[in-house]
Chain A
Amino acid sequence: MLTDHILTLITFVPTAGAIVVAFLPRKGRVVQAFTLLVTLVPFVRWLHLPARFVYAHHGFQVEENQPWITSPAIRYHLGVDGLSLWLVLLATFLAPVGVLVSWRSVQNRTKEFYFLFLLQQTAMIGVFTALDLFLYYGFWELSLVPMAILIALFGPDRGRQAALKFFLYTFIPSALFLVAILYLYVKAGTFDFVTLQSRLASGSLGITPQALFWLSLAFLVAFAVKVPVFPLHGWLADVVQEAPTAMAMVVAGKLGLYSIFRFNLGLFPEQARAIAPLMIVLAVVGLLYGALVALAQTDMKRLVAYSILGNLSFCTLGIFCFALAGLNGAVYQTLNEGLTGGALLVLVSILYERYGTYDMSLYGGLASRLPWLATLFVITSLALIGLPLFNGFVSEFLVLSGSFGSHPRWVGVAALGVILSASYMLWMVQRIFYGKESSLVANRPATDLDFREHITLWPMAILMLAMGILSPYWIKAIEPAMTPLSGAVPAVETPVSPIASAAQVPGGVQ
């Protein structure tokens, strides 16, 4: 019975939890423990969904659809497909991890922290599940506010500036995005994604190609800033540096990439293909730029930030080549980045908690003192580099092989980025864990991972291996969702070719 409203439940349990948090006493660890419990509820509820998921079904499942506001026609429409299924699971998985990471690093103003943390959780899950553009936009914008306030509140040095930068970078493109949504609404009379998709595909809305191009651009820019795609990444390094670890883990990547899949590819396939050459170039440049800048960093958090930029550019590359393998790989890479990048940030924050600095040059020879930490750090690094057996390998292989057919030269350059990313990661591991013991490490006794840190990190590490070895389990849900998005542009006038009719299947409305 509960499954009828499982999406509502998963989306809004964190909000309900946030309201309770506001009234909890500040004493002891009550707030942390309660938040951990609240974040585990959606995760556990969600876990059984992959088992019930109908993999053969194109389109959305476990939908909830009822009118919310009659005029303007806004519906409360939630649903998931193979794409959002895993992204929601990732978000719900990273939530308890985020709580555990913040357990000790957030000591002051815990109520504010966990209140906003839980609101952020609702906003993110809402973005993945909302199928009404108004509702979606609501969650999309909502996801900015707790994040910005948390960065301002907990940023160690320049939190306020970083928060403002982040907010303005994302909010101003979102304003134009809202214009585009309103324009679609005026033309179609609905915000419903499924209806809009089928009506746009049939070309019955009477929107000129030029207007469509601008609409898709407004969508794309808003999403690309959030990913971030290469020239729009200005906020990323500052935010990753200033944000609390639990927030830095989720700030980049999945929200923007999901939206590109869902809306740019789903609503504007033709326009997405028109702009693809530009996006591929930006992706490759971002890949190399991220790797090269990461090589030059001494601050670990900034290094991670630029490695995130590089890894996310892989997703962009996979998306805009429109090959099925590439799209699958891009989704997989989105999941990987959330997992591996998150784990890396956790590890870096554990180092910081022990030694009070992010400066790599002060570390050295840590492996013999903290063997468990070193082990997990190496595992995560190898996953990030894309060593076979690990998740990163699957996605990089899929992206590169999928896009090689259409853009061999650019993919060749992108492969260079893989090598570079291996070099900066290994270099970081080498500097921190091996070599001579630095004076910092020698003078400051530190304990190896404690129980809390073990249960934070091991599930992530195991998942990295599992996703590397058992990738078909994930891909079998992703592929049906990606199939209609791949391939040539569906013909607009004559929807008789098999590809064109396939493109309309997820719409469900013929």
Chain B
Amino acid sequence: MNDFARIAPEVIFTLGGIIIMLADAMMPKASSRKSLGWLAVLATLAALAASMWQAQLPAGTAYYGVVRTDAFSVFFHVLIAGIVLATLLIVLDAVTPETEGLGELFALIQFGAVGMILMSSAVELLLVFIALEISSISTYIMAGYRRKSAKSAESALKYFLLGSFATSFFLYGIALLFGATGSTRIDEIAQAIARAVAGGHVSPLLYPGLAMIIVGLGFKVSAAPFHVWTPDVYEGAPSPVVALMSTAPKAAAFAVLLRIAYGALPALHAHWVPILWWLAVISMTVGNLGALRQRNVKRMLAYSSIAHAGYLLVAFTALSQEGIAAASFYAVSYAAMNVGVFAIISHTGGYDDHLTLIDDYRGLAYASPVLAGSMAFFLVSLIGIPFTGGFFGKFYVFSAALHSGMVWLTIIGLINSGIAAFYYLRVVAAIYSEPSGAAPIIGVAKPSFPLLLAVFLTAATTLILGIVPGNVLSAARDAAKTYSTSSPAMPSVPPAITASR
């Protein structure tokens, strides 16, 4: 029973998905599937409640040590369930009762969520791999959901081919780690490496294993140079799906990367810190420079998500609990503002993506002041203007990096955020410009209740994270604390700081 409690959210999501699939099959063909969406919302709320309830369980593992619930897993569970909730609301707004395969879409979102939350609680690398595949396969299918659109099909195929390639890298990395340490459990790997380092016999297999895992996960978080799929996939996939896949699977992959880097391989930090340093710099630069050249809103946001993956990677190099907490916090703030932006894009651009270019958004302020104002707010947060979650996230990440003496990384990162302001502002300026003639933006439908709810939730989260981030900060810090005991090799405060205090 105790074991069962540790996978309750996963079970709820699975049951939700199965019930939706069964109901979809049994409902008469002509009837609307939107009610299934509300069922999915209910299941997600239940899973969210279960995740929060898990916080009061003592930290520990279940099922022979393959799943671990602790403050860290709860943090990411709640985050992912929240993203799924907002996504479902966006889907409910975007689709019509006639949309093809709606029931399956809701079921796929539930199954995808199972994979993502399992990624954040699995501590057995093979289970991590299975969870990663569950999450990935669901997103591959969802990316190609507009079957009649060639772009959507291309998007799905590209995502699938490159994604499978990346997961095989990840699997190979696991195999090499197993070869080097004789285990696939994160805690045992850490102990084996610590013993090996103490004994002076570090297996050479570890290094290619580490590299392969970073490649596999680098793909999943769309860090440059493993980012090439991102713009095409985001452009082709339906906007509500992009809201999900640009945030939730990434947050899960970052959780895995944190678990592996700080849980399994802290002793190798001298090797992975420089790699992640470079990944961060390349991602920020490639993402921001790439975004500058885009005219398509979704492609621009795809490049922006590459850049944000870079900012998040900056926190990894801090090599401290503050860094872990900053990474976790950043995942939340990025999710809030990015889901918010995609909620509005999904509504104004439509499920069929009839508005794609930045210029198409000219005059949104005339058509719908509420949507325009919220979109401007989300973009301002993505720029990183104070009193928004985006700023506090960036502030926290870079102060953690600076704490560890990463002066150049901080300078590069913040100059990057200055460059980034340019392309976000272009969208803000477009929204508030006068529409040209009979622009399609004028015909934007009134936002429905689910969409307004989604926008309100994400905007409120973004604002709260910027003004009173205390609760989320302490949750992130609690999540980070789970690593102090399991990784004795990692200094909790970098030595440079202790000296200067």
Chain B associates with chain A:
yes
The one of B365, B369, B410, B470 in contact with A182, judged by C-beta atoms closer than 8 angstroms, is B410
Q: Which 3 pairs from chain A and chain B are nearest by CB?
A: A138-B386, A172-B418, A175-B414
Which residues of B lie under 8 Å from residue A144 when comparing CB positions? 385
Task: Kindly identify, within residues 412 to 471 of chain B, every residue whose CB is under 8 Å from any CB belonging to chain A.
Answer: 414-415, 417-419, 421-422, 425-426, 428-429, 432-433, 469-470
> Which B residues are closer than 8 A to A by beta carbons?
365, 369, 373, 376, 380, 383, 385-387, 391, 395-396, 398-399, 402-403, 407, 410-411, 414-415, 417-419, 421-422, 425-426, 428-429, 432-433, 469-470, 473, 477, 497, 500-501
Q: Determine if B429 and A164 form an interchain contact, defined as CB atoms under 8 angstroms apart.
A: yes
Q: Are B432 and A152 in contact (CB under 8 A)?
A: yes
Q: Beyond A164-B429, A171-B383, A172-B415: 6 further Cβ-contacts under 8 Å?
A: A71-B477, A72-B399, A112-B432, A139-B386, A149-B428, A174-B418
B500 in contact with A178 (CB, 8 Å): no
CB distance from B81 to the nearest CB of A (A): 26
Using a CB-CB cutoff of 8 Å, which residues 35-73 of chain A contact chain B? 69-72
Could you say which residues of chain A place their CB within 8 Å of the CB of B402? 179, 182-183, 186
Partner of A178, one of B365, B414, B428: B414
With a 10 A CB-CB cut-off, give which of A145, A149, A167, A186 has the most chain B CB atoms.
Answer: A186
> What A residues does B403 contact at CB under 8 A?
186
Question: Secondary structure of the B side of the interface?
Answer: helix
Q: A171-B421, A187-B500 are in contact. Are A153 and B386 (CB under 8 A)?
A: no
Residues of chain B within 8 A (CB-CB) of A185 are: 399
When A149-B376, A160-B429, A163-B429 are in contact, do A179 and B411 touch as well, CB less than 8 Å?
A: yes
Q: Which of A112, A142, A176, A206 contacts B414 (CB 8 A)?
A: A176
Looking across the interface, which residue of chain B has its beta carbon closest to that of A151? B429
Do B470 and A70 touch (CB < 8 A)?
A: yes
What 1/0 mask marks residues of chain A from 151 to 179 whose CB sits below 8 Å from any chain B CB? 01100000010011001100110111011
Cβ–Cβ < 8 Å partners of A213 in chain B: none
Of the residues A112, A137, A148, A179, contact of B425 by C-beta under 8 Å:
A148
Distance in angstroms between the alpha carbons of A397 and B404 in the assembled complex = 50
Asked if A189 lies at the interface with its beta carbon under 8 angstroms from chain B, I say: yes
- The verdict on A160 contacting B418 (CB below 8 Å), with A112-B365, A176-B411, A182-B398 known, is no
User: Chain A contacts of B469 at CB under 8 A?
Assistant: 69
Which residue in B399, B418, B477 is a CB contact (below 8 Å) of A171? B418
Q: Which among A22, A175, A179 has the highest number of chain B CB atoms within 10 Å? A: A175
> Is there a chain B Cβ closer than 8 Å to A141's Cβ?
yes
> Cβ of A182: which chain B residues have Cβ within 8 Å of it?
395, 398-399, 402, 410
Listed by A's residue number, 7 A-B pairs whose Cβ atoms lie within 8 Å are A137-B386, A149-B428, A152-B432, A163-B425, A172-B419, A176-B415, A179-B411
Interface string of A101-140 (1 = CB under 8 A from B): 0000000010110000000000000000000001001110
Contact of B415 among A71, A137, A164, A175 (CB under 8 A): A175
List A contacts of B373 (CB < 8 A): 22
Residues of chain A lying within 8 A (CB to CB) of residue B421: 167-168, 171-172
B370, chain A: closest CB distance, angstroms: 10
Closest residue of chain A to B365 (Cβ to Cβ) is A112
* Chain A residues in 8 Å Cβ range of B395: 134, 178, 182
In the complex, the answer to whether B385 meets A142 with C-beta atoms within 8 Å is yes
B166 → chain A, closest Cβ, in Å? Answer: 32
Which B residues are CB-close (under 8 A) to A167? 421, 425
Q: Which residues of A have CB within 8 Å of B369?
A: 111-112
- Interface residues in A474-489 (C-beta closer than 8 Å to B): none
By a CB distance below 8 angstroms, the chain B residues around A71 are 473, 477
Considering the chains assembled together, what is the distance between the CA atoms of A142 and B380 in angstroms?
10
Given contacts A152-B432, A171-B421, contact A179 B387 (CB under 8 A): no
Rounded to whole angstroms, the CA-CA distance of A65 and B470 in the bound complex is 18
- Do B415 and A72 touch (CB < 8 A)? no
Q: How far is the CA of A479 from the CA of B369 in the complex (A)?
A: 48
Contacts of A179 in B (CB 8 A): 398, 402, 407, 410-411, 414
A242 smallest CB distance to B (angstroms): 12
Which residues in A have their C-beta under 8 angstroms from that of B497? 186
CA distance A176 to B383 in the complex (A): 15
Q: Given that A175-B418, A178-B414 are contacting pairs, would A72 and B396 also be in contact in the complex, using a CB cutoff of 8 Å?
A: yes
B residues near A22, Cβ cutoff 8 Å: 373
| A134 cross-chain contacts in B, Cβ below 8 A | 395
Are A164 and B399 within 8 A (Cβ)?
A: no
- Tell me the bound Cα distance from A293 to B419 in angstroms: 31
CB neighbours of A137 from chain B (8 A): 386
A160 to B429, CA, bound (A): 6
Q: Is the CB of B399 within 8 A of A152?
A: no
- Smallest CB–CB gap between B292 and chain A, Å? 12
For A70, A142, A171, A174, the residue with the greatest tally of chain B CB atoms inside 10 Å of its CB is A171
Q: Which residue of A has the minimal Cβ distance to B372?
A: A112
Would A69 and B470 be within 8 Å (CB), given that A186-B402, A187-B500 are in contact?
Answer: yes
Q: What are the residues of chain A within 8 A of B418 when measuring CB–CB?
A: 168, 171-172, 174-175
- B249 to chain A: closest CB distance in Å? 30
CA distance A505 to B133 in the complex (A): 64
Known: A153-B432, A183-B402, A185-B399. A164 touches B425 (CB 8 A): yes
Residue of A nearest to B426 (CB): A164
CA of A111 to CA of B432, assembled, Å: 13
In Å, the complex CA distance between A164 and B399 comes to 28
**A152-B470 in contact (CB<8A):** no
Could you tell me if B386 and A175 are in contact, using CB atoms closer than 8 angstroms?
no
CA distance A150 to B426 in the complex (A): 14
Roughly how many angstroms separate A164 CA and B398 CA in the complex, as a whole number? 25
Contact B433 A152 (CB under 8 A): yes
Interfacial chain A residues near B411, Cβ < 8 Å: 176, 179
CA A189 – CA B501 in complex, angstroms? 8
- Name the residue of chain A whose CB is nearest to the CB of B416: A175
Minimal beta-carbon separation of B22 from chain A (angstroms): 46
List which A175-226 residues lie within 8 A (CB) of chain B. Answer: 175-176, 178-179, 182-183, 185-187, 189, 205-206
